[in-house]
Amino acid sequence: MNYQAFTNDSLTMMYEAIRGALAADDALMSQGGQPRFRVRDTAEWKQHASELESEMLKRGMFFEVIDWREDQATLPFER
């Protein structure tokens, strides 16, 4: 994908969509369900996130890096 063609806002939106899909999968799994988007099981999700991060870093954008650790799945429910 030609990430250079996208605006900063578009890159942020795509990156946050990955974060949202990961959170949705983790929430479903914590409730005993099956992941809808299979973010952790599909290497292309991490590849996409990595490429977005690279482009955002090149532009000097600030963003919170996605934490891919498996144990992050339960954090929102423990707070």
pLDDT tens, residue by residue, 27-76: 999 999 999 999 999 999 999 999 999 999 999 999 999 999 986 554 44
Is residue 3 classed exposed, middle or buried when 0-12, 13-18 and 19+ CB atoms within 10 A define those classes? Answer: middle
Domain segments of the chain as ranges: 3-78
* Rounded Cα gap, residues 71 and 53, in angstroms: 22
* Rounded Cα gap, residues 66 and 61, in angstroms: 15
pLDDT confidence of 3, banded at 50, 70, 90?
A: very high
* Rounded Cα gap, residues 67 and 49, in angstroms: 11
Of all residues in the chain, what percent are helix, strand and coil, respectively (each to 5)?
65, 0, 35
* Rounded Cα gap, residues 10 and 74, in angstroms: 29
